[in-house]
Copies of this chain bind each other. A is one copy, B any other.
Amino acid sequence: MTRTGRRPGNPGTREAILTAARDAFSRQGYAGASVRRIAAAAGVDPALVHHYFGTKDELFTAALELPFTPAKVLPQVIAGDPDGIGERLLRTFLGIWDGPGGQQGLAALRTMLARDAEVGLFREFLISQVLRRAVEEYGLPDAAVRVPLAASQLIGVVLVRYVLRLEPLAGASVDWIVATVGPTIQRYLTGELPAPGPAD
C-alpha cells in the first residue's frame, strides 16, 4: 500500500487532529478550546473531527491517550448508595487500568507526569472532565476539595501497583485493594474533613 497523502482514515490525519487538540487544550483550557479551531489548525473539516473522535470530551480524552472518558465512567460510579461511592470508584478505576487500553494509558500517564507541557493538560483534564462534572452534574458537596484528595490516592495506587509494581499492591486482588484503600476514597469524598485553613 502506498501512501497518498492525507485522506479520511489516514493515521496522519488522526495524528494531526490530536496534535492540534493537545496544543489547543493545553494553551486555551478545555472551555476555551473549540473543535472548529482545532479542525482548522489540523487542516480538516470539523465534521471529520467529530467523525473520528466524537464529542469534545472524547477528543480531549483521546488527546491524552487515557483509557477512559469520565463522562461515561462517572455516572455508574455516582449512581447507587453514597456509602459505597469510594469502593465503586476504586473498583471501576482499577478495572480500567487492568483492561484494554490500560497499558497504553499507563505509558501516557507516565509521560504526562514527566513533561511540564503535558502536566498542565492533565491538570486541565482533571479540572474540566472530573471536577467540573462532580460539581455541576452530580452536585457533590465540597467537590473542589474532595475530588483532588481522592485523585491523590487513586493516582498513588495506580503508580505503586502498575508502574512501581511494589508488592503487595502489584499482585493483590482488586477485592483486597478495594477493601483496604476504598475507605480512604470514601472518607475523602463523603467523610468529615478539616476546614481548609489559610495557605502558609
A152: which of B113, B181, B183, B187 is its contact (CB, 8 Å)? B181
How many residues of chain A have a CB within 8 Å of chain B? 49
A199: which of B126, B149, B160, B172 is its contact (CB, 8 Å)? B172
A156: which of B111, B154, B198 is its contact (CB, 8 Å)? B154
Given the interface pairs A152-B153, A156-B154, the reply to whether A194 lies near B165 with Cβ below 8 Å is no
In whole angstroms, what is the CA distance A198 to B168 when docked? Answer: 11
Residues of B within 8 A of A110 (CB): 113-114
Whether A144 lies near B167 (C-beta < 8 A) is yes
Q: Which of A148, A165, A175 has the most CB of B within 10 A?
A: A148
Residues 184 to 200 of chain A near chain B (Cβ within 8 Å)? 184, 187, 193-194, 196-200
Residues of B within 8 A of A156 (CB): 151-157, 159
Q: Mark A155-181, 1 if CB is under 8 A from B, else 0.
A: 111011101111111011111100111
Residues of B within 8 A of A152 (CB): 153, 156-157, 159-161, 169, 181
By beta carbon, the residue of chain B nearest A174 is: B200
